[in-house]
Structure 1
Amino acid sequence: MDRYTQILQELIKNTGLEGAALVSADGLPVSSVLKPGLEEDRIAAMSAAILSLGERVAEELEKGGLEQITVKGHNGYVILTGIGSDAVLVVLADNNAKLGLLLMEIKKAQDKLKTMI
């Protein structure tokens, strides 16, 4: 098991997430811990596209550098967090997620991953 996967598994263990993935900024999967039925390649491609659009929106509306994107659906959350300029951390959480705890744990994982990428 690689170090990226260990960090993702620790994040899931600490928060009860449904899954987590680390993807490159150009939409390629780096590492993931996902439930069966979730496609790593699809998540990677969509995440890179969303992050790219979010960066453009933040820049065009003069809100500074993009830090995070949260998508809320009927069945839960998708949270995308930049890891430097080279990667994106994607987490999948259900509606019962405690967002404060989740955001704190995402920040810890982000800090660890930044030192590795």
Structure 2
Amino acid sequence: MSISEQIADKLRALEARIPDVEAGLVVTPEGLTIASALPPDADEERIAAMCAAAHSTAERICRELGKGEAQMSLVRGEGGYILVTSAGPSAILMIMTRPEAKLGLLFLEMRRLAKEIEELVGRF
């Protein structure tokens, strides 16, 4: 099984464990998809590029304001949350949730998943 397939399996497993998780995506800092568990109608390339840009912007804001390294970005929309975090130097993890998602649980799960993804991507 390829690394992309292993990561996609981990994204789907997160969705299965936490019903409020609707989708997941792992991209490079340049915005290229590594693994996806997005809905079929989603524009994967466009979302991948936007996730990388959002993470890069969050990193620049944190540096500019003296807050150190960006750890996670959270966007709250009417239909739920988008959470974006680093998964090491070569990957960015995005999770999409329903509005009633328990954020504390998601933060813990994302940290764990980000470490697993970092280890897998490090094998490329």
Query: TM-score, normalized by length of structure 2?
Result: 0.90
Query: Does 1:19 pair with 2:29?
Result: no
Query: Does 1:46 pair with 2:50?
Result: yes
For structure 1, the residue ranges without an aligned partner over 5 or more in a row are none
1:8-44 superposed Cα distances (whole Å, 9 cap, x missing partner) = 1111111121100000100011110112211111110
Task: Give the whole-Å Cα distance in 2 for the aligned partners of 1:66 and 1:14.
Answer: 27
Calculate percent identity across the aligned residue pairs.
34
| Correspondence list, 1:1-117, <5 A | 2-16=5-19, 17-117=21-121
CA-based RMSD: 1.1
1:25-70 superposed Cα distances (whole Å, 9 cap, x missing partner) = 0001111011221111111000011111111000010101111000
For structure 2, the residue ranges without an aligned partner over 5 or more in a row are none
Count of residue pairs brought into register by the alignment: 117
1:83-109 superposed Cα distances (whole Å, 9 cap, x missing partner) = 112110000001011111111111111
Query: TM-score, normalized by length of structure 1?
Result: 0.95
